[in-house]
Amino acid sequence: MGQEALKQEIVGGLRAAMTGWKNGIPKEVLYSTSPNSKYKVRKAWFALVAGNLADIIRNVLNEELQIPEELCAEVFAYHEALVNDTEFKDRLTTQEDIDKAEVIINKILVEFEK
């Protein structure tokens, strides 16, 4: 797959994560079986984000995708923090957690949609 096609695939996945899931933190606890459960506050959303970031990292390491070094370092650091932070996994998600994820997603989207 060419670099531009790869970028478009990644953009599609990240756009779906940004627009297909709701903002806000509802009062009730949401489960995968809850109606309208697609809120960014759920750990499932963070797993989706982590998966997209892992795809980017894998493609950069395989030299199928090139991104600026600074952005690559940010993607790698955020991904590592997201998947290895046991404290995050054991607590409720905060708006700050969502905001951090959206910042990195937006940086990637800006870079890939140039």
CA 50 – CA 46 distance, rounded (Å): 6
Give residue 25's pLDDT: 81
Distance CA 93, CA 62 (A): 33
Write down the pLDDT at residue 95: 93
Query: What's this model's pTM, rounded to 2 decimal places?
Result: 0.87
- Reported as a single tens digit per residue, the pLDDT across 89-104 is 889 899 999 999 999 9
Q: Does the pLDDT of residue 24 top 90, yes or no? A: no
Identify which has the larger pLDDT, 51 or 26.
51
Report, as an integer, the average pLDDT of 76-89: 93
